Amino acid sequence: MTRPPSSRPLEGIKVIEFGQNLAGPYCGQILAFLGAEVIKVERPEGDDARKWGPPFLEGDALGFIALNRGKKSITCDLADKAERDALIERIGSADVFVHNLRADVPAKFGIDGPTLTRRFPRLIYADLGAFGHAGPWKERPGYEPIIQAVAGLISLNGDPSGPEARIGVSIIDLSTGMWTAIGVLAAIARRAATGQGSLVNTSLFESGLMWASNHAASYSVTGKMASRQGTGHPSLTPYQAFECSDGPLMICPGNDRLWRKFAEALGHPEWPDEARFKTNVERMQHRELLLGMIADIMKRETRTYWSARLDALGVPNGPLNTVPQVLDLAQVAALGMFAQPYAGSPALFHGLPISFDGERAGGAEIAPKIGQDNGKI
């Protein structure tokens, strides 16, 4: 018998999320889009991210809505003992508790990991911190730009002719939300086998270190740091954007076979047989010379011209699109990644980049108002 399509593999799992800003709420949203019942706990005044605008939709910032759809919302004043005790009982009846509260808050109010996992042995407790659960910085606060700076990511980003640049998306917050969700899923699987819950620790800083890990490995061997690359790559040549007559085209011949095809598209099939350009090692040694030769040829024709030639030979390439250009792509429409869940509003919100049996997880849900489910759950 064929199993009916379902994008809700976590149906029946109950999650309490005391998330704020981006990382904790994104973990909660992933779990909600996978089918879990996610109850978002907010301070009486609400998650700070509700006010991170404009733009706003129905009184809440779009950034808040984007990461809090498909949840219920209740409020809790941790300083109120009755409300705090009710929250603890609620956590005890759930499968998962996720939070990214400031490091000193949980123990102050008796909702820290060691306390709750002792009291509720089946509980999966996910603590998403700033700088990690150990070390001299374990109670230090942090936001996305600070972590990008401290973990070295800003030093790696930007054109070499200009200043360093912050990565333009919240890669630390979002990836930490993902890592936390992965940890929760692994803990659910282990509990199914052992009956025991887990204390899952993640942090923004650890995610930042992970993103910088390739550069750290290279430095540990060579003692040198590669210069910032712009659109290029510190270990591959050619592997970057080239200016055509009407704008840049990203071209990534990531092996010697594709390099030979790229050279053919450029009208120089002899280049890969020259000793100075034969392998990536030689091309890296003659990098500036080769890039200059390619650039002189690429600028003579349009992106459409070059893309057609490269596509015909199977060389990976693509234009440097703006977000509006991305939204106009037929491929984006075909994947159905974005939805307009708010009637009367053109606002686009994402589903998960995961499909089950052809059905995308999440997308049509809306975000709760502050405390809209108080007394209902």
Could you give the residue numbers annotated as active site?
233
> Contact at 8 Å (CB) between 58 and 342?
yes
HSE-up of 112 (CA within 13 Å, CB side)? 12
The letter for the amino acid at 210 is M
Which residues have C-beta within 8 Å of that of residue 298, sequence separation ≥ 6?
A: 242, 243, 244, 249, 266, 306
Q: Are 45 and 343 in contact (CB under 8 A)?
A: no
Q: In 257-319, where do the E strands start and end?
A: 317-319
Give the DSSP letter string of 218-251.
Answer: HHHHHS--PPP-TTS-SS-SS-EEEEETTEEEEE
Query: Tokens representing 332?
Result: 């984006």
Q: Tell me the torsion sign for CA atoms 165, 171, 173, 176.
A: negative
Q: Is 5 exposed, middle or buried (CB count within 10 Å of its CB: 0-12, 13-18, 19+)?
A: exposed
Strand order across the beta sheet in which 317-319 lies: 240-244, 247-251, 317-319
- Hunting for tokens 């976590």 — which residue is that? 10
The region, left, alpha or beta by phi > 0 then psi within -120 to 50, assigned to residue 205 is alpha
